[in-house]
Structure 1
């Protein structure tokens, strides 16, 4: 066992935000379940809508279009395939496979797009109730990180850490 205090038990700056975002996703998931959309998860909605508008895409193309890693999109596509929302079809050459929507996913798109728009409206409403809108905070964070990356900030504190000196 490691001596000293457990840093994961100290008050975290990020954990409340992570919990809040997870809770908000859970609330969206609850809406899906109330409407009988079992197996739909919030992380599926953006790729499903994008495929609905653009048509079949490779996992790499879909990941690029949604600004996520290939690995993350591959996992999401696998999960969507298990739920019967997408399938893979032959691509333009023998080496590629494209992801396309199933009939079930096509039928769900109107509701998913309506939920997307309603969620955006709810977020705007929430921002109006805050003294510091989250979208402004995010822009401020992006600007600060452009001046000095998160990596560099962490590395600086690691160099100063007494645990790293020994």
Structure 2
């Protein structure tokens, strides 16, 4: 296929994709830091939950999800992945339906290093933001303000209502 045909393949144009690729690239760089530091099997996406569990102690999946701003379903899947990788274990909660998530000895052994990485990452992001004319944290706040005025759902739904292919 030659040329650009947005009608046939609208994915060839994307305002979201560069942001997602940037985050994936930065996560890959963090994974490289872990590999160089001989912290095997750690995903950057696990670190916040591991640090939160270290700071606050064992929590139910719902409590952990609420504390990091994720849904119960998403956190349940992440806990399963962290458990499979040996970073957490789950034990029965106060009632038969809940599970408490706790750090394994493997996680406790490296949590101080993870806190150091978190601080270094935040400092590196601050350094990058100082180098660019419009910091990403400000862009995020401005996008959140725009979405508070009118939701993303409403914006997408309006565009779809104008597109005959959606009907």
Q: Normalising to structure 1: TM-score of the pair?
A: 0.93
Q: Structure 1 unaligned segments of length 5 or more: list them.
A: none
Q: 1:90-114: per-residue Cα shift (whole Å, max 9, x none)?
A: 2223442201011110011010000
Q: How many Å separate the matches in 1 of 2:97 and 2:135?
A: 46
Q: Which residue of 2 aligns with 1:17?
A: 19
Q: For residue 14 of structure 1, report the CA deviation from its aligned partner.
A: 0.6
1:89 aligns to what?
91
Partner residue of 1:40?
Answer: 42
1:114 aligns with 2:116: yes
What whole-Å deviation, never above 9, does each CA across 1:7-27 have from its counterpart, x for those lacking one?
112x21110010000000010
Can you list the C-alpha shifts for 1:121-155, whole angstroms capped at 9, x where unaligned? 00000000111011111111011000000000001
Unaligned 5+ runs, structure 2: 1-6
Question: CA–CA distance in 2 between the matches of 1:162 and 1:120?
Answer: 45
> Post-superposition, which runs of at least 4 consecutive aligned residues in structure 1 deviate over 4 A?
none
1:6 aligned to 2:9?
Answer: yes
CA distances 1:57-97 after superposition (whole Å, capped 9, x unpaired): 11111000000011111111111111111111222234422
For normalisation by structure 2, the TM-score amounts to 0.93
- Mean CA deviation greater in 153-162 or 94-103: 94-103
For 1:130 and 1:21, how far apart are their aligned partners in 2? 17
Equivalent runs, 1:93-108 vs 2, <5 Å: 93-108=95-110
Partner Cα distance (1:128, 1:103) in 2: 38
- Superposed CA deviations along residues 44-68 of structure 1, whole A, max 9, x for unmatched, are 1000000001111111110000000
